[in-house]
Amino acid sequence: MSDTGKDESGATAFDIRKVLKALPHRYPLLLVDRVKSLTLGERIHAVKAVTFNEEFFQGHFPAQPIMPGVLQIEAMAQAAAILGIETLELAGTGKLVFFMGIESAKFRAPVTPGCLLDLEVEFTQKRSRVYKFKGRASVEGKTTCDCEFTAMIADPPAD
């Protein structure tokens, strides 16, 4: 990684400070800790460090902690939001990325505390405000969840 935040392929990487600038999410629902690579208009590879301190582990399940599958999908959606916001140069505009639909979701393996959850998302379709993505979550190369989902860029709700 060079000083410019780009890897040898020219993809951009983000630390947590830049993730916080790109997303409106905050603890306990921020599910992206860093971006390993981002290729504008194409794909993102982000990471979530899953720790025992996550609030959801208190109830899911106390004796056998497993990250809920829907939160894996949310983590992929947050990675997709970073990809969309950065691709469309919308950072700082107040625009939000809203889920519209989830298709073909499959949960393949449990995610437990101590895992590094890799989040790989790519654009599959781009329209003016509606975008489709294909996502894959994995731990050490083993797929834990995959799905396709649709999101839209919108103004925040009025107060």
Provide the annotated active-site residues.
60
Cα angle 137-71-16, degrees, rounded to a multiple of 5: 75
Q: How many CB atoms lie within 10 A of CB 5?
A: 14
94 sits in the region (left: phi over 0; alpha: psi -120 to 50; else beta) called left
State the Cα–Cα distance between residues 19 and 85, nearest whole angstrom. Answer: 11
